[in-house]
Structure 1
Amino acid sequence: MSKTILDEQAIRRALTRIAHEIIERNKGISDCILVGIKTRGVYIARRLAERIEEIEGEKVSTGEVDITLYRDDLTHKTKDKQPELKGTNISNLVTDKKVILIDDVLYTGRTVRAALDAIMDLGRPSQIQLAVLIDRGHRELPIRPDFIGKNVPTSKNEVVEAKLIEVDGEEEVIITQKTSL
């Protein structure tokens, strides 16, 4: 059984609000780079870049970061297999830029920690900010988002899943119960 917590319209509104907040907080978008965490964060970053361009009339740089090799659970997840790398693609240098990391769902903070490590390997940004579509709580690391589409209090036996048209063929955020094996 699943419950929709954001539909297509609500996702669009949340991203528009985040775009405005990014512009306001950074007093424009000069020296900003939107970096999506693979996979869904990349598509959210692209959508935010489009909204920001509509609002500001100016393009904002985007990039994507693959955190696979930076995960602290890599040995548990891959067992005897080689990890599948999806590649980091940031065409602009991050040094002295404001990097806005973007992800779909923030949970324990471990994905963001891995993304921070990956970004820092590319240079020394002047600042790193975090934008998430959903913040569901239950942090295991001291990480707090700067921009949030929606706070969704959850229990640990629930799963929050963002589905995007580019990846999943549908557009919604749902919450379901974990299935026990």
Structure 2
Amino acid sequence: MLKTIEPRFGSSVNVTDDSEACPKSWIALYTRPRSEKKVRAYLDSIGMENYLPVQYQLRQWSDRKKLVEVVVIPMIIFVSVDRPDSFRQPANPLIIKPLYQIGDGKKLAVIPDSQIEQLKFILGQQDYPVTFDPDIFKVNDKVRVVRGPLMGLTGEIVNYDDRYLELAVPIGIRGAARLSIEKINVEVL
């Protein structure tokens, strides 16, 4: 007598659709300037799942208008990986290197699937151009120094440029000491 096996739903060792069994994570790859679309085509050709955040914008020239695909985050493409610790960079001269965690040049920066999904949602639902602001710092933000001889020091951002922050560190009732420090050495509180 043959026994019928009912299909089961849920977690299984060999099934990768279950996010708990095999969570999908993403890493970012730096590309050469203006070659993100070529890298996307290359990754597609070798069967590597990737995501290049793009949007379509109407551009106007003197003689015509055209809908153009514009890359939102220049020089970055996201690649889906099962295990970031065992990632091997594809051999392509247009791919510079993977993005590493700040302060730890050996550990890849892992982007959760939920953040990639949010980015896809924003770009898919937006009727107006979306811009990417890589700067997370604002004037009057409270920050803490996380690296270097001033580690542990807290202060408030007074001014900033591309590389440095100017901090005001309160010193009792007498005022505040001002100092300049590299952005990579601080984090927002």
Q: Normalised by the size of structure 1, how large is the TM-score?
A: 0.23
Q: Which has the higher contact order (CA 8 A, sep 6+)?
A: 1
Q: If each structure's helix is expressed as a fraction of its own residues, which one has the higher value?
A: 1
Q: If each structure's strand is expressed as a fraction of its own residues, which one has the higher value?
A: 2
Q: Which has the larger radius of gyration?
A: 2
Q: Normalised by the size of structure 2, how large is the TM-score?
A: 0.22
